[in-house]
Structure 1
């Protein structure tokens, strides 16, 4: 439940910020499109971070002596 909430929150926040940006600067629909994409990326990053997929190194990349 938490992981889906992280993703949805990122997309909604991006959409709201894009809508506000468009209203203030009159750049319909480009601000909404750009900020929705940024919100999607932020949501995916938050899901990866919450699931432990991002940032965790297993140590397999380091060479070992035979």
Structure 2
């Protein structure tokens, strides 16, 4: 369920921002299309982080380091 929400939320936020900017700047539909792709990419990245467990701590580097720690303790 969380994976679906992460993906859909990214797309909806992107489309919402694009739609609002288009209405404000009068550039329909270009910014909505651009932000649709940006929102899709952000949603896919969030899904990847959730699946890999990289969202446990602040920052992807710290999460990856935390994930690698058990391997070092086991001698792997």
TM range (shorter): 0.7 to 0.9
1: CA distance between counterparts of 2:41 and 2:53? 15
| TM-score after normalising by structure 1 | 0.79
| Structure 1 unaligned residues grouped into runs of 5+ | 59-66
RCO (CA 8 Å, sep 6+): is it higher in 1 or 2?
A: 1
Displaced runs of 4 or more, over 6 A:
none
2: CA distance between counterparts of 1:21 and 1:31? 7
| Structure 2 unaligned residues grouped into runs of 5+ | 55-59, 69-76
Looking at secondary structure, tell me which structure has more helix per residue. 2
1: CA distance between counterparts of 2:21 and 2:53? 32
1:10-31 deviation digits (Å, cap 9, x = unpaired): 0000000000010000001101
* Count of aligned pairs: 58
